[in-house]
Amino acid sequence: MKTKYIAMTILALLVYCITSYYIGLKLANSLLLSANSVITGIWWVCFTFITAAYFLGRAGSMFYASVLTDWLIRTGSYWLAFYFYFLLIWGIVDGIIWAGREIGLIPIAYSSNQPVIGW
């Protein structure tokens, strides 16, 4: 029983890390951060801290509850809310894109950058 719990925890953390990395990459691209700048390194350090804040706060509160752990838990909670809403929106948008491509739900004029001549 204990090995199944450990395996599921590792799997959940792996999925969380991969999807958080994807979100961070999309946010960095939308902020137009270049790959070689110092600001990009600062971005990834801050982003990693924010994604780990909830878990650090919970682990810290087991040993010593303070204002810092409360702040970490609050910051991490806001990040987790953003994270789950982003995943929800991402799924809806992918579903709309799939429906537009496979079923033809979205007209060609809206789904491509090519000019449509005539009707």
DSSP 35-80: TTSHHHHHHHHHHHHHHHHHHHHHHHHHH---HHHHHHHHHHHHHH
Whole-model pTM: value is 0.71
Domain count, the chain: 1
Residues in CB range of 60: below 8 A, 6 or more apart = 66, 68, 69, 72
Q: Flag whether 114 is in a domain.
A: no
Residue 72 lies in a domain: yes
pLDDT tens for the 119 residues of the chain, in order: 799 999 999 999 999 999 999 888 888 887 877 777 888 888 899 999 999 999 999 999 998 889 999 999 999 999 999 999 988 998 888 888 888 777 777 666 665 666 656 55
Q: Is residue 112 part of a domain?
A: no
* Residue 57 belongs to domain spanning: 2-86
